[in-house]
Structures are given as C-alpha cells and as structure tokens.
Structure 1
Amino acid sequence: MIEPIAGTVEQCPFCHKTIRGTAEICPHCGAERRFGPTLRESLLTFAVGVTAGPVFMLLIGAGLQLAALAAAIGGLIGFFIAHSRHAGDRWMKPPDKP
C-alpha cells in the first residue's frame, strides 16, 4: 500500500483521526471546514454595532440625527469586525447525532 505524503494529511481537531489536507468535511465525525464568519457571528457583531453607537450618542446628548448616523457606522464597523476576525478557515464542531 502506498503511504500518503506527510504534507497532504492532517488531523481532525475534534476526532483526531487522519484526514486529507484538502478535506472540507471530516469523513469520521462530520466536522466541517469553514471560511469566514457564520451568519450568526455576522448578525451578532452587526447588531452590537447598530445598538452601541446610537446608545452612546443619545447618552452624550448628541441628538437623533447623529444617533442614526452612529447606527449606520456602527453596523458597518460590526460587519467588518466579524469578517476580519474570522478571515481564515477553521473547523466547526460536528452536528450532534440524534
């Protein structure tokens, strides 16, 4: 039997079994390689940005117009933070089996 080249295999971070280096899903446990943020992470950071900016503006008494502008800017900042924080690929936990 031909052994694979060492650089083309890796270990699954969840089940610790050997898998191909190009695998997107672990054939043993079902863990999935993802690139970028999940929808939940994007929505969460967007929501924090949209609420934190206006709350701060209203607390300092800047008015509703600046609060609305702060909401738009905060949402954009939150979106970019999610995408820069999760810019690489990572393994996601396999779904629980019933």
Structure 2
Amino acid sequence: MKSSLSPFARLTRSAATRLDNATHALPRRSLSACPCCHQPIQTTASHCSHCHAEKHYGPVRRENLTCSLCGLALILGLTRLLFPQLFAPFSFWVIPLMLGGLVTGFIFAQFRFAGDRWLRLNRG
C-alpha cells in the first residue's frame, strides 16, 4: 500500500532539511549613478572610485566648527546689544553665554547636516 505523502515524509527531519536547503543563485548587483560625477557605482557603495566622492552621515569637522563659531558670535553679539553692562568690567556671565553659543551652534550643525550626502573632499 503506497502512501500519498510527499517523499520527505519517510526521511528523518535532518535529512529532509538538508535536501530542502539547496543553494540559490545570488541576486545581481544593482548599479546607480554617482551623484557627483554620474558614473555607474554599486547601490551600496560609500566611495566613488571615479571622482573619489564619499558618502557622509552628519556634519564634517569643518561644518561643526563653522556653526559653533557662528553660534558663539551670534550669542555674544545679541548679548552685547541687549545687555551692554555685562561687557563693561568683565562679568562671569560671559563664560556661560559663550559656552551656550558654542553648544547651540554645534546642535544646529547636527540638525542642519543630518542624513547622508555625497561630498567631494579636497584631499591633496
């Protein structure tokens, strides 16, 4: 009497698993254009071999420094306009204001340059 079960029904569990795990062909690599030079690169690439552009996440050091110094200058300028008596002799309130300006500029840079983008860095 023949059973109507599949051929795997007679095999042990480990033998059926080994037969089922056949190797499958890998998917083809997809290509996209580089945002800087428009040459074909892999979709998952983080570096273009043609124009040497790099994919960056967040701000680079130069952008952090620029935004922090701008925040410092903005806070000190506004404080000088609104409270000129703080700068007459030297007040210790200026130090926390300077630190606050630096931190504000740094946080602004983190939000302004958040995400990934392609940059061509000038590395000689």
Q: Report if TM-score (shorter chain) is over 0.5.
A: yes
TM-score, length-normalised on structure 1?
0.79
- Of 54, 59, 73, 2:100 maps to 73
Q: Name the aligned partner's letter for residue 37 of structure 1.
A: P
TM-score, length-normalised on structure 2?
0.64
Pair 1:65–1:95, CA change in 2 (3 A): closer
| Higher radius of gyration, 1 or 2 | 2
Whole-Å Cα distance in 2 between the matches of residues 65 and 21 of structure 1?
A: 53
Question: Do residues 30 (structure 1) and 52 (structure 2) align?
Answer: yes
Mark the runs of 5 or more structure 1 residues left unpaired by the alignment: none
**Identity rate, percent:** 31
Q: How many residues align?
A: 94
Q: Secondary structure at the match of 2:32?
A: strand
Q: Is the 8 A contact 1:10 1:19 kept in 2?
A: yes
Listed as ranges, the matches of 1:51-70 within 5 Å are: 51-60=73-82, 61=84, 63=86, 64-70=91-97
**1:50-83 deviations in Å (ceiling 9; x for gaps):** 1221222122225133333221111111001111
- Of 85, 90, 93, 2:117 maps to 90
